């Protein structure tokens, strides 16, 4: 029996993500938590004739405890999204506290659940989550994931478009580093199938993958950021975890993890300027991350240049998250 929880379930991402989880054959129980509206979303979804039972919880009456207790997987898209002109780091002041409080709930009520952090800035909210779990003595780095799958989804779509291929889903392109602007490093040189894109076309494609989120923020004219494509991406990652739990082997997803705690992570850390957190392809197994795959030695000279830029931004984002919990020196 698999219990999945969405925290932030009434939001732009939370609602379609909850719908997709309700449709998944891997979910038996779906608990929806939010500070507003979750009982309504749950009532609505509960009428769909798939097997998962759906319940909605608000903070009142120990709702967080009821929602999280017994959870196998907790997906967190809670917090404010960007408006035009904002970077993901501008969300820190509000979302850092939201993540701290929700992860405290994880530590207290579901310490062995898989935790998938969608709330931005992911480069900082994942270190916040790790530090909160460490404080409670329940940190398992093989079960904490920053969801960067939307960068993968965008790289598949935009690369197919430039390469003139009709079906983006045939592409497999690693996207490593972090999840904001120039910390996002698409590895077009390792694309399968291979693509020949160079010069200004490559620069433009890389820039579009790094800043694709801005296109959505601008098109929504102040009403939020990516929600539907993010729900798809979050579900794709969550379902990969659930498939691995169900015993499927060979599942690999790019995700932002705490390297020293994941098998193979030390080699990645050494290649990635000593950073503790980094997104790389990670093999998933029944109990979580089985192996961080070090593809950094395979990158092209051009991509090495992108990585140098990413390291600097990431180091600052990670430190900001850690300091939020352990206190700045």
Q: Which residue is nearest to ligand NAI (CB)?
A: 11
Q: Which two tokens stand for residue 258?
A: 């705490």
**How far is it, in rounded angstroms, from Cα 172 to Cα 187?**
10
With respect to ligand NAI, which residue has the nearer C-beta, 7 or 45? Answer: 7
Residues near ligand NAI (CB under 6 A), total: 34
Binding residue for ligand NAI (CB under 6 A) from 80, 138, 293, 295?
80
Q: Which of these segments, 93-101, 152-160, 292-300, 318-326, binds ligand NAI (CB under 6 A)?
A: 93-101
Q: Which of these segments, 31-39, 43-51, 127-135, 189-197, binds ligand NAI (CB under 6 A)?
A: 31-39
- Asked if 181 interacts with ligand NAI (CB under 6 A), we say no
Count, in order, helices (H) and strands (E) of the chain. 10, 11
- Asked if 96 interacts with ligand NAI (CB under 6 A), we say no
- Asked if 313 interacts with ligand NAI (CB under 6 A), we say no
CB of 30 closer than 8 Å to CB of 245: no
Q: Which two tokens stand for residue 119?
A: 């709330």
| CA angle at 237 for the pair 139 and 49, rounded to the nearest 5° | 115
Q: How far is the CB of 227 from ligand NAI (least distance, A)?
A: 5
Distances (CA, A) of 246 to 219, 241, 263, 315: 39, 9, 21, 35
Site string for ligand NAI, 209-228 (x = CB under 6 A): ---------------xxxx-
| Collapsed DSSP state (helix, strand, coil) of residue 22 | helix
With respect to ligand NAI, which residue has the nearer C-beta, 102 or 188? Answer: 102
Please confirm, yes or no, whether 207 is among the known catalytic residues. Answer: no
| Collapsed DSSP state (helix, strand, coil) of residue 73 | strand
Neighbouring CB atoms inside 10 A of 222's CB total 10
Under rule CB under 6 A, which residues in 97-126 are in contact with ligand NAI?
A: 98, 101-102, 118-120, 122
- Asked if 79 interacts with ligand NAI (CB under 6 A), we say yes
DSSP 146-212: E--HHHHHHHHHHHHHHHT-S-GGG-B--EEE-SSGGGEEE-GGG-BS-----HHHHHHHHHHHHHH
Residues annotated as catalytic (active site), given as ranges = 179
Enumerate binding residues for ligand NAI (CB under 6 A).
Answer: 7-8, 10-14, 33-36, 77-82, 91, 95, 98, 101-102, 118-120, 122, 147, 150, 179, 224-227, 230
């Amino acid at each position: 029996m698999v219990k999945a929880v969405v925290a932030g379930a009434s939001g732009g991402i939370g609602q379609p993500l909850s719908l997709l989880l309700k449709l998944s054959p891997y979910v038996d129980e779906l608990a929806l938590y939010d500070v507003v509206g979750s009982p309504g979303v749950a009532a609505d979804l509960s009428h769909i004739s798939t097997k998962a039972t759906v319940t909605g919880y608000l903070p009142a009456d120990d709702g967080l405890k009821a929602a999280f207790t017994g959870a196998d997987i907790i997906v967190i898209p809670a917090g404010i999204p960007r408006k035009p002109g904002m970077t993901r780091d501008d969300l820190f002041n509000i979302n850092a506290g939201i993540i701290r409080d929700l992860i405290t709930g994880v530590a207290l009520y579901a310490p062995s659940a898989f935790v998938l952090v969608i709330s931005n800035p992911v480069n900082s909210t994942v270190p916040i989550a790790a530090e909160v779990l460490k404080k409670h003595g329940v940190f398992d780095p093989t079960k904490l994931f920053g969801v960067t799958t939307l960068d993968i989804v965008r790289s598949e779509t935009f690369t197919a478009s430039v390469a003139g291929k009709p079906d983006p889903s045939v592409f497999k392109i690693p996207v490593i580093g972090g999840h904001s602007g120039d910390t996002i490093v698409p590895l077009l040189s390792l694309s399968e199938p291979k693509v020949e894109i160079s010069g200004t076309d490559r620069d433009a494609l890389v820039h579009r993958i790094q800043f694709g989120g801005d296109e959505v923020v601008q098109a929504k004219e102040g009403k939020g950021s990516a929600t539907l494509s993010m729900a798809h991406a979050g579900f794709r990652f969550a379902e990969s975890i659930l498939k691995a739990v169900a015993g499927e082997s060979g599942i690999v997803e790019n995700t932002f993890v705490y390297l020293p705690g994941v098998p193979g992570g030390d080699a990645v850390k050494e290649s990635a300027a000593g950073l503790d957190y980094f997104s790389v392809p990670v093999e998933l197994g029944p109990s979580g991350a089985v192996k961080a795959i070090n593809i950094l030695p395979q990158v092209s000279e051009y991509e090495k240049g992108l990585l140098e830029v990413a390291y600097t931004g990431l180091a600052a984002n990670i430190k900001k998250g850690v300091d939020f919990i352990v206190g700045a020196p």
